Amino acid sequence: MSTYLVMSDTHDAIESLPRIKNVIKELGISTMIHLGDYTSPFTLTEILKLGDVNFIGLLGNNDGDKVKLMEIGQGKLNEQPLELRIGKYEAVAIHGFKTPDLTKKVVYALVSSNYYNIVLYGHTHQYDLRVSNKVLIMNPGTLAGYLSGRKSYGVINLKLRVAEVRDLESNTVLARVNLPD
């Protein structure tokens, strides 16, 4: 497992999923991490059909039928926060909390704690990729394009030791950083 796809805030925009399926093939994705807000169970069903990859998911604040989502997720869907390992890195994944400002404050607190090497978050619909205090911070933006006007996703490539946020429609790199040591 060396290449991770990180996505968030699909909001039932299933028209974005065929392109994600191509990304999975093109980049050799081994693990897909979704940071929440599928919205409806049918969207999660379609996401789970995207490829033969490991899936890790969170529930978000706009996920409707959480009982059905958990049933479809078959143990692969989690409440936030979720601690996980990404290669040698200790990571934490959250969807977000109430407002974008509060979410960013929580992310800052997690980064400042020095407990994690990677902090993943969604909810704001704005991509964010940077290294701060030797911690990789990634918000992949939104697959739906709502609020931001851009559909985007993230990639963490352990072999190349880089993280990127890419535009879904053009596949251009919007931001790229080296992974922290």
The answer to whether the beta carbons of residues 69 and 61 sit under 8 Å apart is no
Fold of 3-178: Purple Acid Phosphatase; chain A, domain 2 (3.60.21)
Q: Mean of the pLDDT values across residues 28-43?
A: 96
DSSP 79: P
Q: Which residues of 146-171 are buried (b: 16+ CB within 10 A; e: fewer)?
A: eeeebbbbbbbbbeeeebbbbebeee
Would you state the pLDDT for residue 147? 83
The domains of the chain are located at 3-178
In 3D, which of 140, 154, 127 has the Cα closest to residue 29? 154
Q: What is the pLDDT of residues 39-56, one digit of tens each?
A: 999 999 999 999 899 999
Relative to beta strand 162-167, strand 135-139 is unpaired
pLDDT digit string, tens, across residues 109-168: 999 999 999 999 999 999 999 999 999 999 999 999 988 889 999 999 999 999 999 999
What pLDDT shows up at residue 1? 66
Q: Specify the pTM.
A: 0.96
Q: CA angle at residue 119 from 118 to 124, to 5 degrees? A: 150
Place of tokens 């999923």: 17
Across residues 1-26, what is the average pLDDT? 95
Burial of 97 (0-12, 13-18, 19+ CB in 10 A): middle
User: Taking a C-beta distance cutoff of 8 angstroms, is the pair 142, 155 a contact?
Assistant: no
**Which DSSP symbol is given to 117?**
S
